[in-house]
Structure 1
Amino acid sequence: MTTIGIIGAGHIGSQIARKAVELGYDVVISNSRGPETLAGLVAELGPRARAATSAEAAAAGDFAVVAVPLRSMGDIPVEPLEGKVVIDTNNYYWERDGRFPELDNGEATTSGLLQKHMPTSKVAKGFNHIMAKQIGTDGTPAGTPNRRALATASDYPEAAELVTRIYDEFGFDTVNVGPLSESWRVERDRPAYVVRQNAAELAANVERASRTV
């Protein structure tokens, strides 16, 4: 059975864990405060889940989900994720993270910064423009009219393909916006951010996005 290493057990990470366990995945989840602080969540998730350190979660996962604040990006373990797909759920909130001039100036993207931090991994954007609680409630079977769509972006086709498969299992269509350099199109303050949209609407919102906000 496939194991997902989840680094970050906040709103997004915990909701992805819940849905993944429901779908039959094994989950190893971590946070910044230590595995013992996740006892309640792991008890809720059941026998398919266990808590660990971030390095242990990274090593255990066949692929990983990173769901930590941007300011904590430097704490993500690099070596255990070598060669693996890493799904980046992050957005830039300068009020929380502090200022990143390269993001303010439109010279970089959050996922691009993570890819730079872990050059031997295959980073893909995912689950960043949906409210956490909707990850487990808004999904519908493939072919459902007006099915909600989510975006991905990656410099690695196989990473985008993995996100596309996970999205479908979770109940969402996919719009691939291209390389990580284009992932800003579905981030904070853009038309596609945290609104419900089908694939055609998401594609249109991606095209409408402006680099300056």
Structure 2
Amino acid sequence: MTDGGDERPIRVLGIIGAGRVGRVLARLATAAGYRVLIAGSGDPARLEATIDAVAPGAVAAAASVVVHEADAVLLALPLPQHRTVPADALDGKLVIDAMNYWWEVDGLQPEFGDLRTSTSEIVQRSFPGARVVKAFNHMGYRDLDDEARPSGAPGRKAIAVAGDDPGDVAEAMRLVDDLGFDPVAAGRLRDGVMLEPGGEAFGADVGADELRAMLERFPTSQRGIVIARARAR
């Protein structure tokens, strides 16, 4: 992250969710020069030592403080827990959805298993005043931790971003780049289904060209065909 004349819209990144993904992204963001606020499920004072050890410079705070002070809020919660954030708390905020639906962990929840919609569209409906984009959900936390590289570095891996507003997608893609990955546009928020479990891109640790090829293949994949049929109905 450059200083001085930097005009980027995200200067303070808020992260709600202090699990493995949240902590890794906090480390990458602080290393890139962002001010990072992170909230877990408990007392921020108890989280502070853990965060200081894994992401020096990041600040543990209550979720209400994170939401109020951040320019963008990254949700790294178990997907059903996004409902614990007040519906109007994120009004006007860029919200980066890094969550996934795991029925084995979250329980069978038909809303999240509905193939006619992406889980990020459900998140958008939960926060109608927010600007939701999908990113950072399809790469495992170990690869996120190990694979970050400077822009232009050989072997740099890619992260896809899906969203309905081009400006919001551009902001999220800049964050992806700053955190050490090549950003790849993945279409609209409904197209974020390509990044969810079951799609070829999910779990992929690949470069930008290969990730784009995976997304292009999705409509003809078994899962893509099943989703297309469900949406046609």
Q: Which residue is 1:3 aligned to? A: 12
Q: How many Å apart are 1:107 and its aligned residue?
A: 1.7
Match runs of 1:1-213 below 5 Å: 2-44=11-53, 45-46=55-56, 48-209=57-218, 210-211=223-224, 212=226
Residues 76-130 of structure 1 deviation map (CA, whole Å, 9 limit, x = unaligned): 2333321110111011101111223244331221111111010111011111011
Distance 1:196 1:54 in 2: 31
Letter in 2 for 1:159: D
Which whole-Å deviations, capped at 9, do the CAs of 1:2-49 have from their partners, x for residues lacking one?
A: 211110000010111011111111111111122122021233234x32
Runs of 4+, deviation exceeding 6 Å: none
Are the equivalent residues in 2 in contact too, given 1:87–1:123 (CA < 8 A)?
yes
SS at match of 1:79: coil
Letter in 1 for 2:157: R
Which 5+ residue runs of structure 2 have no aligned equivalent? Answer: 4-10, 228-233
SS at match of 1:200: helix
Deviations 1:121-178 (A, max 9, x none): 1011111011112223212222334421111101121221111101111221122111
Larger radius of gyration: 2
Q: How many angstroms apart in 1 are the aligned matches of 2:204 and 2:41?
A: 30
CA distance, structure 1, for counterparts of residue 154 and residue 25 of structure 2: 24
| % identical equivalent positions | 34
Write the distance in 1 (CA, Å) between the matches of 2:13 and 2:86: 15
Q: Is the 8 A contact 1:35 1:53 kept in 2?
A: yes
CA RMSD of aligned residues (A): 1.8
Equivalents in 2 of 1:191, 1:169: separation in Å? Answer: 25
Aligned equivalents of 2:80, 2:112: Cα separation in 1 = 13
Cα pair 1:5 1:59 within 8 Å, conserved: no
Tell me if the contact between 1:21 and 1:49 (Cα under 8 Å) persists in the aligned partners: yes
5+ long unaligned stretches in structure 1: none
Q: How many residue pairs align between the two structures?
A: 212
Amino acid at match of 2:176: Y
Please give the secondary structure, in 1, of the residue aligned with 2:145.
Answer: coil
What TM-score comes out, normalization by structure 1 length? 0.92
Q: Secondary structure at the match of 1:193?
A: coil
